[in-house]
Amino acid sequence: MQIEAVELRTVSLQLKSPFRTSFGTEHVKDALLIRVAADDCEGWGECVASAEPLYSSEYLAGAMDVMRSFLLPILFASGDVAAADVGRLLAPVKGHRMAKAAVEMAVLDAELRRSGTSLARRLGGVVDRVPSGVSVGIMDSVPELLDAVGDYLDQGYVRIKLKIQPGWDVDAVRAVRERFGDIPLQVDANAAYRLSDARQLCRLDAFELLLVEQPLAEEDLRQHAELAKLMTTPVCLDESIVSASAAADAISLGACRVINIKAGRVGGYLEAVRIHDLAVASGVAVWCGGMVETGLGRAANIALASLPGFTLPGDVSGSDRFFAEDLTEPVVMRGGYVDVPTGPGIGATPLDAAMKRMTTAKSTVSRHD
């Protein structure tokens, strides 16, 4: 497939309510979408980088610049391009995994749409629906947290994840356990703690959590391994896992018993499958994380979560968890599950009217520029 042109489009979606983590508070979701056009097909990708470099070193404006200046010229110069080749072709550009993942996603979507194949089938999915978990941000008070958790349970979500940080951890988790009993419950620290906080983190063992996610800094694999020896709660790594190689190192060190796979963070859905396969072979559980994606990225994540190793519920909530209006037909959670898209490609396409209202900027880069 020879790519003729690529459209870069930034969009802004209003969040239904502010979402707070240790990185800050989001009121809107700004996203960078990419549409590749070949002679007989097109495909969509979504970059999961945030507007500011707080979750990772990548951010939207930087992702757009590296695409325009480096990644897309490489693809244009490569002639016929297959999705399986994108990672290798873009490897000379160091880092920028989220930007690369968006480009690969768009090429993969176009390739699969042309062949009439769904992303789930291409990746190796084995189920037609996946369990839906929900992530609950840091609240102003415990009563507010309990109201939010109760509402999500009433909606049917099968697993609750609580964001935590120093000063908002044990008491919040205890309150949820006491109110709602033996629900599937886990916590996410987003690297907010240090190894010196081990005693406080070990207090979470009393609540029989599914896992504690990324308690320490991204680079601290050795410290995570030390913490894992002290806790009975399984340690899960998120930000630390940026590739299959990083996952292999973490597993070898004993730094985790669970991995949160986010395709955008690791450089694309094909690398995500490699991490899945490595984890399964190593006896490490995996689940599919989310980055508050639009319906495009959400559909692709659901396809990834249909692989056999994803035995824990992921952050694959319905569109209405975050947005009153999505860019695509909404992802709907029913009875605790979301359906795996069966249409060609990622199985989702932006709605023209929604795109027009939500677009903040767009530009096109051509092979002939």
131 plus 98 within the same structural domain: no
CA distances from residue 198 to 157, 166, 229, 258, 357 in whole angstroms, order as listed:
30, 12, 10, 18, 48
User: What's 26's domain CATH number?
Assistant: 3.30.390.10
CB atoms under 10 Å from CB of 149, counted, come to 23
Phi, psi of 166 (to 5 degrees): -50, 130
In a domain, 29, yes or no: yes
In a domain, 355, yes or no: yes
The domain containing residue 9 runs over which residues? 3-116+351-366
Q: Choosing from 29, 94, 262, 362, which is the catalytic residue?
A: 262
214 plus 263 within the same structural domain: yes
Closest CA to 35 of 353, 348, 354: 348
The DSSP letter of residue 71 is I
Contact 328, 299 (CB under 8 A): yes
Q: Choosing from 16, 29, 163, 229, which is the catalytic residue?
A: 163
Nearest-angstrom CA–CA distance, 59 and 220: 22
103 plus 136 within the same structural domain: no
Distance of CA 24 to the CA centre of its chain: 18
In a domain, 150, yes or no: yes
In a domain, 262, yes or no: yes
The SS3 call for residue 262 is: coil
Contact 166, 193 (CB under 8 A): yes
In a domain, 345, yes or no: no
Q: How many domains does the chain have?
A: 2
In a domain, 344, yes or no: no
276 plus 291 within the same structural domain: yes
143 plus 194 within the same structural domain: yes
User: What's 250's domain CATH number?
Assistant: 3.20.20.120
Nearest-angstrom CA–CA distance, 358 and 337: 28
Phi, psi of 196 (to 5 degrees): -65, -15
CA distances from residue 341 to 107, 192, 268 in whole angstroms, order as listed:
18, 35, 18
139 plus 82 within the same structural domain: no
Closest CA to 2 of 32, 34, 42: 42
∠ CA 101-284-337, rounded to 5° = 65
In a domain, 195, yes or no: yes
Please give the chain's pLDDT, 369 residues, in tens.
899 999 999 999 999 877 777 666 777 899 999 999 998 899 999 999 999 998 899 999 999 999 999 999 999 999 999 999 999 999 999 999 999 999 999 999 999 999 999 999 999 999 999 999 999 999 999 999 999 999 999 999 999 999 999 999 999 999 999 999 999 999 999 999 999 999 999 999 999 999 999 999 999 999 999 999 999 999 999 999 999 999 999 999 999 999 999 999 999 999 999 999 999 999 999 999 999 999 999 999 999 999 999 999 999 999 998 898 999 999 999 999 999 999 999 999 999 999 999 999 999 999 887
Catalytic (active site) residue 29: no
246 plus 143 within the same structural domain: yes
Q: Locate tokens 């097909």: which residue?
A: 41
205 plus 293 within the same structural domain: yes
334 plus 205 within the same structural domain: yes
100 plus 72 within the same structural domain: yes
249 plus 284 within the same structural domain: yes
355 plus 237 within the same structural domain: no
Predicted TM-score (pTM) of this structure: 0.94
In a domain, 346, yes or no: no
